[in-house]
Amino acid sequence: MRMLINVPETVVADALRGMAAAHPELTVDVENRVIVRRDAPVAGKVALVSGGGSGHEPLHGGFVGPGMLSAACPGEVFTSPVPDQMLRAAAAVNSGAGVLFIVKNYTGDVLNFDMAAELAEDEGIQVAKVLVNDDVAVTDSLYTAGRRGTGATLFVEKIAGAAADEGQPLERVEAIGRQVNENSRSFGVALSACSTPAKGSPTFDLPDGELELGVGIHGEPGRERRPMMTSGEIADFAVDAVLDDMSPRNPVLVLVNGMGATPLLELYGFNAEVQRILTARGVAVARTLVGNYVTSLDMAGASVTLCQVDGELLRLWDAPVRTAGLRWGM
């Protein structure tokens, strides 16, 4: 096993200690697995809490900070955090204005966040929830009933986070988050499998010279396997799958997201193909983000996420943000 780790059992704790050392603007509770804005709770501000299995960095801990999340709960690798983590995070960031849970549609995440919401409300914390289910590749998968939550999570956390930082009330921040999710679609492609620290070898079999179209961020199977294709051919398949499921009337945000092991040289080339197709299909592009944001350990591949935006959503997207994984305007 060639990984830059000590032992698999401590990989998440070691990463959290390193994050704490690199980002003093965060309060990182290594033992209880909670990452919080150091200035939390912010008086009068709706707090945003998200989380999920580790291995998708910078999602979610890398998106904690002004303009995005108030707290994040990292689970073990590809494993949901537990309700106690979520409750601890909600209590740490609640200012009395309420807490919004942002949840990717995976069974463990959904069940545990639901339980945490009940526990928080028992303690007098008002909780709302946005479920992210943007992946058009499959309706049901190994870990979910319905569509999986993938790249749109970043759009929801950023845009809803900006609304919360403006002081908008919980009901409005929740509605904005739901609107962003409803306006978003994603499709992912794997060129290689990922390897978890515990297993130390690929988590699924992807033969040389083949790729998985519609892969999930844990390596769940997608629509089909094919012999290797060019960047342009992959982009044609991915963007067509997204646009077959949505008909944008307004401009879109574009996320060309790396799965963890794909160099920026390739991602920018892939983005050129994505932009070519959108232009040909008459889809106006408002903003584009390229990089590794919602990853799957060391998987090679990419995903495309489109989010239709109006003037208000675009304004919130452009609002300042300062986190470990995303920052502009500050």
Backbone torsions φ then ψ of 54, nearest 5 degrees: -70, 165
Q: Which of 218, 242, 273, 295 is catalytic?
A: 218
Distances (CA, A) of 6 to 10, 16, 76, 118, 298: 7, 14, 15, 37, 17
User: Which residues touch 15 (CB under 8 Å, ≥6 apart)?
Assistant: 54, 57
Tell me the one-letter amino acid at 216: G
* 218 part of the active site: yes
Handedness of CA 48, 54, 59, 61 (dihedral sign): positive
R_g over Cα of the chain = 19
**Helix/strand number for the chain, H first, E second:** 8, 14
Which ranges constitute the DSSP H helices of the chain?
11-22, 83-93, 107-122, 152-165, 170-182, 231-243, 264-280, 311-318
Distance between CA atoms of 301 and 299, rounded to whole angstroms? 6
Q: Which of 37, 56, 60, 185 is catalytic?
A: 56
* 60 part of the active site: no
Distance between CA atoms of 264 and 262, rounded to whole angstroms? 7
Q: What angle do CA 236, 242, 243 make, to 5 degrees?
A: 85
- The residues annotated as belonging to the active site are 56, 218
